[in-house]
Amino acid sequence: MASESTNGRVKSSDASISGENPLPEYSLPKTGILSCIPASFVPYGELMRIDKPTGIYAFYYHHLFGTLFASILLDTPPTLPNLLKINAILLAGTVFMRGAACSWNDTLDREYDRQVRRCRLRPIARGALTPTQGHLFTSCLTLAALSFLYQLPVHCWILAMPKIFLLALYPFAKRFTDFPQLVLGFEMSTGLFIGAAAVDYDFRTTEPHIWIAFGLFYFAQICWTVVYDTVYAQQDVEDDAKAGVRSMAVRFKDGPRTLLTGVAVLQVMLLVAGGWLQEWGLWYYTFTCAGTATLLFWNVYTVDLQNPAECMWWFVYGSRMVGATTSAGLGLEAFFKF
């Protein structure tokens, strides 16, 4: 289907790989982390998207939120060195788990990717790797991620099971529902509970009002995921519709800003309600609530949803900024409590 020459260029020999239009020419990366590894490893690096760390941050932030959220609630919070150690383990595990998710997704979505301009040169779509290689690589990455999970308290393993199930389900959600962003949101936000368990928060003794606070925060993070992933999906909305890929961006393509506004409002309301229930203070409301609200609505009302480059910018930097303000509010709330 495709051949790779010594100069790292690939051309498609089969126009059907991308419908009526053949693949554009592919060249090995000249900059970034992928330019520093042997050419034979590059397709694997691309498959796990190691050169695109935004997804790693998006996965990891929920775990960080969990460690900080639980630190506020615990009578004896973890020491700073221990908190940093736990988060280092969570971050390292996230690199591999997110890589496994991308590998699994791209292996299953190879036929769709060949019909979407932005995705045509992904390694399996262009024929640089076979589906069997993709599945084997997914298994290796999953085992690597589980090795980091093994270093955390045993109840983290139990809480990780729904996350793994939803990760496996996500590619199929794009085939059978218009709401894969919701599935992704439920999956990503489970990191909140894994992070809390990692600092030895015991959910078995949690009082009802704290369960409600966790739930409010959890659903707020689902809203956050829906916002940034719907903005991300705007890049491909026309190609996705033609290829049969279902998403909230396709479902609401006639009024995406209305959808994003409603979800953003709901997210801020949930954050405020959770803080009010726990009687948290100024730091939480200033950064986690007001800071997040400012960034979300700046995002929603300034992003040109018809401009793929602008949507990608907001996905990359907007999601990081919201994660940073949310973390700052929780972190400062925990710091000044103790």
User: Predicted confidence band at 17 (pLDDT cuts at 50, 70, 90)?
Assistant: very low
In this prediction, residue 338 carries a pLDDT of 72
Q: Does 336 score more than 90 pLDDT?
A: no
> Following DSSP, what letter does each residue of 182-210 receive, concatenated?
HHHHHHHHTHHHHHHHHTT--GGG--HHH
- Domain membership of residue 306 as a residue range: 2-337
Q: Does 2 score more than 50 pLDDT?
A: no
In this prediction, residue 224 carries a pLDDT of 96
Q: Does 329 score more than 50 pLDDT?
A: yes
Q: Does 8 score more than 60 pLDDT?
A: no
In this prediction, residue 99 carries a pLDDT of 97
Q: What is the mean pLDDT of residues 277-296?
A: 94
Summarize pLDDT for 39-73 with one digit per residue, the tens. Answer: 999 999 999 999 999 999 999 999 999 999 999 99
Say if residue 22 is exposed, middle or buried (CB neighbours under 10 Å; 0-12, 13-18, 19+): middle
In this prediction, residue 60 carries a pLDDT of 97
Check if the beta carbon of residue 131 is closer than 8 Å to that of residue 107. yes
Query: Considering the entire predicted model, what is its pTM?
Result: 0.90
Those residues with Cβ within 8 angstroms of residue 292's Cβ, 6 or more apart along the chain or in another chain = 224, 267, 268, 271, 322, 325, 326
Mean pLDDT, all residues of the chain: 90
In this prediction, residue 23 carries a pLDDT of 55
Which amino acid is present at 280? Answer: W
**Tokens linked to 92:** 């390292």
In this prediction, residue 205 carries a pLDDT of 83
Q: Where residue 157 sits, what CATH number does that domain have? A: 1.10.357.140
Give phi and psi for 254, each to the nearest 5.
Answer: -85, -10
In this prediction, residue 337 carries a pLDDT of 80
What is the percent of the chain with per-residue pLDDT over 70, rounded to a whole number? 93
Check if the beta carbon of residue 58 is closer than 8 Å to that of residue 326. no
Total domains present in the chain = 1
